[in-house]
Amino acid sequence: MHKGKVIRAAGGFFSVCDEAGKEYFCQARGALKKGSEALMVGDNVVFKPLEQVSGDGTDEAIIEKRLPRFNRLGRPPVANINQLVVVMSLKDPECDWQLVNRMLVQAEKEEMTAFLCLNKADLVTDREIEDVKQKSDPFPYQIICSSTVTRMGIDEIAGRLKDCTSVFAGPSGVGKSSLLNAIQPGLSLQTGDVSERIKRGRHTTRLAELLPLHSGGKVVDTPGFSRLNFSAMDENELARFFPDFENLRGKCNFRNCRHTGEPGCAVEQEVGKSINPMRYEHYRLFLDEISKQEAY
């Protein structure tokens, strides 16, 4: 038996890289194809090489077992990730702040570090960038404005990826693959543009893939998405995943305060001060969404 990591997954087949860097084309045992046991890019596995070699000379194997994960994301579907890079664009399409905060909640839940990249800075003015920063201030995560045209922010993002396993996530058309190509040109990832009719990105990345970086880190490029639900979250734990609420924990008048209108709520008193009003409104929206899910 050999150990390795899933670096690519598509159509029930998997590419696994062993500890020596050799790649195998694999199928998985039935139990590893369903539900929470289904294999993801980033999973560490035990596999058995087969004697035969495929027609194109690729070594083949059967994945026998998935080793324990230290975290996982349902969307994008990846496992064993240290850092989430939320990628949005400043224009074409405009930044979806609600989706930003949904992804950041997910990162907190899975104990990942995270930062926000606002791409396509070359399409807006300095004043427009400043307006965006003011809208999000204060924001409890680093924001890096970037451009693959002017290379603004590229070196700063590359520095955050060093010696880390990261995943790039965000809607289609925001430039995730273009950013990775700018960080490491040899990746030669396929890129696309934004539909003029619906002002949304076209899918160019078709599958999640774990890519090695010259910096010593690894990064997963993923297909874009525009929806993310909180299907496995308790409403009582949501506030813990807002780090801007953290220093106020225990300061509300009520121990079980939901921060939605209770007398003496320390969180509400800080909205517009240490807590960004937009972030707080998204918290209330997410809480209502989770409450309705639990009611069914």
Same domain, 246 and 215: no
Same domain, 62 and 78: no
Whether residue 197 has pLDDT greater than 60:
no
What span, in angstroms and rounded, lies between the C-alpha atoms of 294 and 290?
Answer: 6
State the pLDDT confidence band at 64, using cuts at 50, 70 and 90. Answer: very high
pLDDT tens-digit series, residues 206-241:
688 899 999 889 999 888 766 778 877 889 999 999
Same domain, 146 and 31: no
pLDDT score at 52: 66
Same domain, 39 and 125: no
By residue range, what is the domain housing residue 185? 73-221
pLDDT tens-digit series, residues 246-291:
999 899 999 999 999 999 999 999 999 999 999 999 999 999 999 9
Q: Mean pLDDT score of the chain, rounded to an integer?
A: 89
pTM for the whole structure: 0.88
Number of compact structural domains in the chain: 3
Residue % of the chain over a pLDDT of 90: 70
The reply to whether 233 falls in a domain is: no
Whether residue 152 has pLDDT greater than 60:
yes
Nearest to 239 by CA among 253, 229, 250, 231: 250
Same domain, 97 and 194: yes
Q: What is the CATH number of the domain that holds 30?
A: 2.40.50.140
Dihedral over alpha carbons 123, 129, 135, 136 (to 10 degrees)? 100
pLDDT score at 182: 95
